[in-house]
Structures are given as C-alpha cells and as structure tokens.
Amino acid sequence: MRVGLYYAPAADDPLWARAAAWLGRDPASSEPRPQPDLPDIAAITAEPRLYGFHATLKPPMTLRKGTGWDEVVAATRAIAAGIPAFALPGLAVTGLRGFLALCQTTPSPALQALADACVAGADHLRTPPEAAELARRRRHGLTGAQDANLLRWGYPYVFATWIFHMTLTCRLSGEAQARICPAAEAWFAEVLEVPRRVEDLCLFVQRSPGAPFVLAERAALAS
C-alpha cells in the first residue's frame, strides 16, 4: 500500500466535478465519469486518472513496516491541526515539464508552508526508496538539490524545488500540447473563477501496485 498527502478541492466545489469528468474518474468513489468529447482524451489523461485529481503535498510513499492505518490518520490530522486554513491562489492551465496542469497564478507562502509541513511531518511513516527507485528518478536528470532531496526525503521535488500543480495530462508533444491547452482552458474557465480555500488535507491511498489512488480521509486544517 502507498499513501500520499494531497490537496484536493472540496466535494461541493465545482472544480471537483469538472476535474473528475476531465480525467474520467471520481477519486472519492473511484467511479468512472464521462469525459469531454476530445480526440485521444482517454489516453492523454490515463496517467493522471490513476492518481486522481490532486496537488501533491507529501508524495506517495510505501509505509514503513509495522505502520498501521490509525498511525497514518493520526499523523495526517496532527499536521492539519497545526496549519490554519487559507485562501488558495487563483489557478490557470499551465504547461509544466511537458504536461498540462492547473498551477497557481501568484506565490503563496501559506501553500508552501503546508507542503513543507506535510513532507517533514509524515516522513516517519515512509520506507526509504530502494535502489531501483533511486535509479528511475535519476534517469530524468536531477540537480544537486533535487538529488539531495531524493536521498533525504524520498522524492526530488520538495521544499524549494516543489511546485504546486494539479496534473491534467500525460507528457505531450508540442503539437498535442498546443491542441489540448485551449480545450482545457475552455473546460475549466468557469470553475476557475470561483474563489476557494484550502481547508483540509486529503489522504489518498493506493492499496496495491497499479491500483487507482482513492481519497480515503480528509483532515481539517485549523480554523
């Protein structure tokens, strides 16, 4: 089993339903959702569909041997209780390392602090990556800081190298990105105008290798 600490919109946020339809799966129920009528949309969204719509705070981790579910939930709630709820910056469809994602349009120290707290506060639950995982991450080319993060925290893109993003596609060619980006902008335009707050941490679970990640728990931030 792998678990990750994520941000995801509230269940009654129109972005939740809109994103579930874009990816073709509701990560709370794991039920399929009809996707927009776009060429190759099922293939383009296959990878993010597996993970469910979210922004990663503490990357998916294999649990340390002997760690029980109650311990995971307790750690998540403890992190959440130490962070006040806050407004989420505006979001926009953005090209990022070859894929499309919803990214923040302005910096947010509160969002960075939440991600940092999740990385550090849940790290005692994590099994260190094996040699094969380290090699796989390094194949993509890492900076010295990213490699140091990989060794210490099990993932390259944390703390100063972290970027808030909610993935919408797999990696795309330049032609495909130019074709899909306007469609994604149109699909999300109305719901991105709605102001939203970060009010909880979402605990996502992958119960076996290759299984889809599902939303298992929401832990409320401090009021």
* Res 140: pLDDT: 84
Selected from 3.40.1160.10, 3.90.1140.10, 3.40.50.300, 3.40.30.10, the CATH number assigned to the domain covering 2-112+122-127+164-217 reads: 3.90.1140.10
Residue 122 has pLDDT above 90, yes or no: yes
Residue 139 has pLDDT above 90, yes or no: yes
% of the chain residues with pLDDT over 70: 100
3-state helix, strand, coil in the chain (%, to 5): 40, 25, 35
Write the DSSP string, 157-211: S-GGG----EE-SS---HHHHHHHHHHHHHHHHHHHTS--EE-EEEEEEE-STTP
Residues 4-31: pLDDT tens digits?
999 999 999 999 999 999 999 999 999 9
Residue 147 has pLDDT above 90, yes or no: yes
Residues 79-115: pLDDT tens digits?
999 999 999 999 999 999 999 999 999 999 999 999 9
Q: Where are the domains of the chain?
A: 2-112+122-127+164-217
**Candidate from 7-21, 79-93, 128-142, 192-206 with smallest mean pLDDT:** 128-142
Residue 133 has pLDDT above 90, yes or no: yes
* Res 56: pLDDT: 98
Residue 200 has pLDDT above 90, yes or no: yes
**pLDDT band with cut points at 50, 70 and 90 for residue 223:** confident
Residues 6+ apart with CB under 8 A from 22: 35, 36, 45, 53, 168, 184, 187, 188
